Chain A
């Protein structure tokens, strides 16, 4: 950590002016329960028909994958875990509009070795050093606190 001001900000020990951005949605505990395996365990699927690994954290409609993105097979999958898989940055942005405590929001689209791709926040990074092809690994982080509930999810970070 570069300085004490960062510490105070990250721990929310000093009040910050709110970003002029839309409010985050409330945490939905029933959906959290329903998706516990995918959210907490970073479990995706591997299609039994075509063998394509898939992880989905960006659907407009939430819930598990029911239809294979590659071959359209329905409900014919094995569980497939992404936690310890190596991955590389396929594309990235340094987003100054997104309201985050440690701007810019470094957001990456990563590809896992063996298949599968997904968007994640990139953490523990130097924004100037992020590039296409950079190796990353997954790390479990606190995401959001809302009305007495805390959400945890996975972020990517540069391999160290």
Chain B
């Protein structure tokens, strides 16, 4: 019988840089700036940190990238990578080490410097032998939208409208977030008229490709009284890696992400949640593309299968709805510096729980879910992290 992380560790301070095209900042700046904010927030100094987990996909290898930037004095640093889910992986490493009783106070950090690459989309992540087919990341998610429309009988216009409303909502939230990359409200008409990136996904169906860093100070739950903030306890950390059989077998429907569904079930069990739609106060999900957010609402049991359209149209996931999703703008608008995203998803709950979310502040949030996904819909690693008071 596996154990549980529930209430064994707590976040006592967090930091996050502004995300965006930060031409004047390198990886070192992203690390130092996010860590400084987290340490100040927690009221601790760098020398108090006993071990560090750093998540990045492209920005440096080894623990040295972090220890060098911070001039850490010979403490253990582990670089973790789980594709776009690297941020949560860093939180897992730090949380488990603290829960195991090895350390009292650890740092989880995620960072990514993407904009030096000079390419559209992500840098090359193909490690196959040869080029077998030429779709981009938007392309493989677009194929999920094609299939979703086909399966549920949506015309391209109906489908694109459903997805467009997701992006309109995220832009509305992102516009209120001073740290977000994309801070303009948009209209559904703009979304539908935007250039196609990979049919049926247009420009506004795709998240921002950004630079950024985020960090969290994680301590043993019995130590929280020593820190000034309201502690935010880790309730669940579950991860599911794909056997990637969905691209080989005709049984996979390509309208859901099995790993998200399973990680969700496991996380709800670990956190003791029986009715996620009612018990979760807010969610930050991995909305790399609008279709990803749509199916994730179904995978995490917020909406019944094939019915997310009804919830989108009812405004369920708006800031004013019963289950706000992406209150900070999500990957869509806050941006997606790969390694930083998983920790950025916890930064918004952190601010919300402290009552520091400004115009985006929700009333009395108690339980927040973050869903961090790496790789394609048929072959991902998906992490679900639940935090609460």
Contact = CB atoms under 8 A, between A and B. Distances in A.
Are these two chains actual partners, yes or no?
Answer: yes
B130 A107 contact: no
A99 B120 CA distance: 10
A121 B140 CA distance: 12
B300 to A, nearest CB: 23
Interface residues of B, number: 44
| Contact-size category for A | 35 or more
Contact of A70 (B142, B198, B245): B245
Interface in B119-146: 119-124, 126-136, 138-140, 142-144, 146
Contacts of A121: 133-134
B305 interface: no
Nearest to A54: B248
Contact of A119 (B123, B136, B198, B247): B247
Contacts of A80: none
A127 B150 CA distance: 17
A58 B128 contact: yes
Interface in B222-252: 243-245, 247-250
A150 B163 CA distance: 41
A69 interface: yes
Nearest to A117: B250
A93 B139 contact: yes
A95 B250 contact: no
B129 A31 contact: yes
A39 interface: yes
Given A117-B247, A119-B247, A93 B134 contact: no
Contacts of A84: none
Given A20-B118, A97-B139, A153 B248 contact: no
A95 B133 CA distance: 11
Contacts of A93: 135, 138-140, 142-143, 146, 198-201
Contacts, number: 158
B117 interface: yes
B147 A90 contact: yes
B119 A144 contact: no
Residue of A19, A20, A95, A144 with highest tally of chain B CB at under 10 A: A95
Contacts of A118: 247-248
B133 A107 contact: yes
A19 B379 CA distance: 27
Contacts of A69: 243, 245, 248-249
Interface in A23-68: 23-25, 27-28, 31-32, 35, 39, 52, 54-60, 62
A111 B146 CA distance: 15
10 contacts: A20-B119, A21-B119, A21-B121, A52-B249, A91-B143, A93-B140, A98-B136, A105-B135, A119-B247, A144-B131
Interface of A: 19-25, 27-28, 31-32, 35, 39, 52, 54-60, 62, 69-70, 90-100, 104-105, 107, 109, 111, 115-121, 132, 143-144, 151, 153
Given A21-B120, A24-B124, A97-B139, 19 more contacts: A23-B124, A25-B126, A35-B129, A58-B247, A62-B129, A69-B248, A90-B147, A91-B146, A93-B138, A94-B199, A95-B142, A96-B197, A97-B120, A97-B197, A100-B134, A109-B247, A111-B250, A132-B146, A132-B150
Interface of B: 117-124, 126-136, 138-140, 142-144, 146-147, 150, 195-201, 243-245, 247-250, 254, 379
